[in-house]
Amino acid sequence: MKSQDPIENLKTHLRRRKTSGAPPARLSPEARSSMESWKKRKHAKPDPTPAAKSTTSPVTPSVPSRSTRTPAAPAAPASPQTQAQPQWSLQLPEGDKPSRFAWLRDTALACSRCSHLASFRKQVVFGVGNPDASLMFVGEAPGADEDEQGIPFVGRAGQLLTKMIEAMGLKRDDVYIANVLKCRPDMPPNTPGNRKPTLSEMDTCAPYLHAQIELIRPRVMVALGATAVQGLLRDTSPMGKLRGQWREYRGIPLMLTYHPSYLLHNSSITEKRKVWEDLMKAMEKLELPISDKQKGYFLQ
């Protein structure tokens, strides 16, 4: 088999010429240069990191024509509305409803998970009303009046809420009223007024509210004001955009509306009508009768 090395082939050819008595052959400068280049390539060291050979043939992706292109997948639906994130779990004991409610109340009254609130409060404001209520109102946090009496919504805003409930044809004892926070938010010494509860405070208190909802099982809930909505749903949109909307909280229809204190500062008939329309939606959901007189409340 003939060698593929041109230098060895040349040497073999020269030996044969010498053996046959032929005169010595002379190489041209071009031939010598080619031979030197071959020798250098032959003795060159290999690349220490040679590229690995592909075991598969490269495939050039084809771009489908406009008529055959696969339609883009639709955007993923938005995730469900984020809700309160409790920082601990609370397990209700076995037993009948009154005993379980009593246990929950006693547990809440002794709570000190928020040490700064426990040291500041006068009383835990647990909640009040009918434990079998079909309608549940949820506010933000107790104020000074509520902290003093241990009952939610007893100040001026609470008195207005009572009138709103009565306008629906109900009594305050027919519904259940609670807050997203059961302790009055602490304030600096000698500082009047109230502050907004933090998300961390509301999350820490959420298991108590969740247990109340589990025991009461209302058919409809009403969130009163931006802080209550933020504590329940994590939605910080302006209440002007949120009010009148139905949401869902723990599987229960939730109507969003203004806090009664808003109407104390914005007492125009148009703003009162907005809240009343929200309450009538709750009445419709509960299949409560709405008279013509009620339908005409706060109309100019």
Domain assignment of residue 234, yes or no: yes
For the chain, report the end-to-end CA distance as a whole number of angstroms.
113
The pLDDT score that the predictor gives to residue 262 is 97
Buried b (16+ CB within 10 A) or exposed e, 10-30: eeeeeeeeeeeeeeeeeeeee
What is the pTM for the complete model shown? Answer: 0.72
Rounded Cα distance, 228 and 180, in Å: 6
At 120, the amino acid letter reads F
Identify which of 89, 88, 105 has the alpha carbon closest to the alpha carbon of residue 97: 105
Domain assignment of residue 82, yes or no: no
Domain assignment of residue 24, yes or no: no
Q: What angle do CA 72, 75, 81 make, to 5 degrees?
A: 170
Domain assignment of residue 8, yes or no: no
The rounded Cα 251 to chain-centroid distance in angstroms is 17
Task: Quick: pLDDT tens for 152-196.
Answer: 999 999 999 999 999 999 999 999 999 999 999 999 998 888 999
Domain assignment of residue 62, yes or no: no
Q: Which domain holds residue 224?
A: 97-295
Instruction: Indicate the number of domains in the chain.
Output: 1
Task: Quick: pLDDT tens for 1-37.
Answer: 444 555 565 666 566 656 666 555 555 555 555 556 5
The pLDDT score that the predictor gives to residue 21 is 63
Rounded Cα distance, 10 and 12, in Å: 5
Domain assignment of residue 196, yes or no: yes
Tell me, what CATH number does 130's domain have?
3.40.470.10
Task: Quick: pLDDT tens for 86-96.
Answer: 779 999 999 99
Domain assignment of residue 286, yes or no: yes
Domain assignment of residue 236, yes or no: yes
